[in-house]
A and B are shown apart, each in its own frame.
Chain A
Amino acid sequence: MSEYIHTKDIENLDIYFTNKILPISQGMQSDNYKLGTLQNIKIQEVKGILSSKILRAQELNIDGVIEVVEPIEILNMDSIKLCRCQGIILDNATEEALQCEDPTLRVALIKREGTVLIVTTNSCRPNGPELYKIYEKGFSTKGKNRCLGLSNLKEIVSQCSNVTLDTYIKDGLFVQELEIFE
C-alpha cells in the first residue's frame, strides 16, 4: 500500500484498499480467525491444550495466533507428555509476552520430512535473564521456590528418545522448537 502512496496513485490506492485491505482487516480483527486452523489438528487432547492456552493469552490482550496448514493426524509422542510440554511452553511464553510492549504469541505445527515440528514464539524483553538460568530448577523471575516449569520441560524431553528441543532468543523473539521424529 505504501507503494501507491509513494507514487501518489490515489485512484489505485482507493481500489486496492477497498477491495483487498478492508475485507482482510475485518477478518483479522476476530481472534477466532486466528484459531481457525486448529481444525487441522486431529488429536483432541493436543487441540484442547493449544486452544485453551491461546484463548487465555488472547484474553490477556496478547496477539495469539495458531498456524496448522496441513492436517496433523499422528504425533509420535506420548500425548500426556506432549501436553505437559506444550502447557509449560505456552504458560511460560504467555508470562514473558505480557511483560512486553507489543505482546505476541504464535504456535505452528509443521509437517516436515520424517518429523513434525511444533514451534512456539513469543515476544520477549531485550535484556531478560541468561537462557541457561531459566532452565535451572527453582529459577523464576518472580522469586525463589517457584516455577519448576522449564526444568520439568527439559526433563520430560530427555525421557523421549525421538524428541528434540531447541530453545533460542533471536530478534526479540523467544523461540521453542519441539521436533518429534516419526
Chain B
Amino acid sequence: MLEIFICEDDVEQRKRLTKYIEDYIMIENLDMKVVVSTANSNDVIDYLKNNQVTGLYFLDVDLQEEQSGIALGAEIRQYDNRGAIVFVTTHSELTYLTFTYKVEAMDYITKDKFTDIQKRVIDCIDTANMRYLQSKHNNKKIFQTKSGDKIISIDYSDILFFETSPQLHKIILHAKNRQVEFYGKLKDIIEMDSRFYRCHNSYVVNKDNIADVDMKDREIRMNNGQICYASSRFLKGLKDIVQH
C-alpha cells in the first residue's frame, strides 16, 4: 500500500487537500491511505521512524516552523528513499528546480498561479501510483544505474545503445529522447539484460530496437534512425539475431 502524508500548516487548505485525496482514493478504489495529515513536520518524521513505508508526501514549503521544505524532504529521504515527494507552495517559483533536484521531488504545485489544485493533486496521485505498481511488480522493465548521487532510470524499451566515451569508464547511453552519461563498464551492462548485445568493442546495442543492419558498412540503424556501429568480429552474431 502507498501511504500518503500531508504536511500543511493552514487548517483550511489542509482539510481541503486531505479531502481531495481521500475522495479520489475512494472513487478510484486505490490501494492508498492518508496516514498522516498534520501541521507539524515532526509527526511525519515520527511516523517514518516507527514504520517502514513507501509514501507519497504533500509538503507545504512555507511551513511556519524551523524545518524548511528542503530539510524536511531530505530527512524523509533518509527513511524512505523510494517515496514520492510533492512540494506545495504559495510563492517562490524561484526555487522550482532546486527543490526538484535536491530531494528528487516528483512534482511541485504552486498555489499562486490560479492553479487547479485538485487536478494537479490527482495527477500526482496517478503518477505515484503508477511508479509504485511498476516498481512492485516488475523491476525488470526499468534500467537503473547510479551516477554520483543521481539514479538514472530508463525503460528498457527506450534504450537504443550504449557507447564508451573517450574518457575512461564513462559510458554514453543513447535512448529515445535522452542521452545520458554515467560511469561504468560495458562488460557489466551486457550482463544486465538479455536484450543487450555487444556489437563492437565500444558499443552495446539493444536488440529489440534494431531496424536493420547494413552488413557492408557495418552500421546498425535503430528504430528512430540513429546509427550504431558494429565491428566485423561481432557482425556474424548480429546476423543471426536479425534473421530471427
Residues of A within 8 A of B (CB): 1-3, 6, 20-21, 24, 28, 33-34, 37, 65, 67, 69, 106, 108, 110, 112-115, 117, 119, 121, 130-132, 135, 157-161, 164-170, 179, 181
When chains A and B are docked, how far (Å) is the Cα of A115 from the Cα of B146? 13
Q: A69-B98, A106-B97 are in contact. List 11 more A-B contacts (CB 8 A).
A: A1-B114, A114-B149, A132-B224, A157-B181, A158-B167, A159-B167, A161-B168, A166-B181, A167-B180, A168-B177, A168-B180
Residues of A within 8 A of B183 (CB): 164
A161/B170 in contact, CB under 8 A? yes
Q: Does B179 contact A (CB under 8 A)?
A: yes
When chains A and B are docked, how far (Å) is the Cα of A135 from the Cα of B181? 14
Q: Does B49 contact A (CB under 8 A)?
A: no
Q: Supply 15 A–B pairs (Cβ within 8 Å), ascending by A.
A: A1-B114, A20-B90, A33-B94, A67-B97, A69-B70, A106-B97, A112-B148, A113-B148, A115-B148, A158-B165, A158-B167, A164-B147, A164-B148, A167-B179, A167-B180
Q: Does B182 contact A (CB under 8 A)?
A: yes
B96/A179 in contact, CB under 8 A? no
B117/A2 in contact, CB under 8 A? yes
Min Cβ gap A29→B in Å is 13
Return the chain B residue nearest A109 by Cβ.
B98
Q: Does B185 contact A (CB under 8 A)?
A: no
Main DSSP-derived SS at the A contact region: mixed
Residues of A within 8 A of B115 (CB): 2
Chain A proximity mask over B70-112: 1 for CB below 8 Å, otherwise 0: 1000000000000000000011011111100110000000011
Chain A proximity mask over B29-64: 1 for CB below 8 Å, otherwise 0: 000000000000000000000000000000000000
A169/B177 in contact, CB under 8 A? yes
Residues of B within 8 A of A179 (CB): 147-148, 150
Given contacts A1-B114, A20-B91, A69-B95, contact A166 B148 (CB under 8 A): no
Given contacts A3-B117, A67-B96, contact A119 B101 (CB under 8 A): yes
Q: Which 6 A-B pairs have the closest CB atoms?
A: A108-B97, A168-B178, A164-B181, A166-B180, A132-B226, A169-B177
Residues of B within 8 A of A181 (CB): 148
Given contacts A1-B111, A67-B94, contact A164 B177 (CB under 8 A): no
B114/A158 in contact, CB under 8 A? no
Min Cβ gap A24→B in Å is 5
Q: Does B243 contact A (CB under 8 A)?
A: no
A21/B112 in contact, CB under 8 A? yes
When chains A and B are docked, how far (Å) is the Cα of A6 from the Cα of B115? 12
B166/A112 in contact, CB under 8 A? no
Residues of A within 8 A of B170 (CB): 158, 161, 164
B181/A110 in contact, CB under 8 A? no
Residues of A within 8 A of B98 (CB): 67, 69, 108, 110
Return the chain B residue nearest A24 by Cβ.
B91
Residues of B within 8 A of A6 (CB): 16
Residues of A within 8 A of B167 (CB): 158-161
Q: Does B65 contact A (CB under 8 A)?
A: no
Q: Does B188 contact A (CB under 8 A)?
A: no
Q: Does B218 contact A (CB under 8 A)?
A: no
When chains A and B are docked, how far (Å) is the Cα of A120 from the Cα of B13? 33
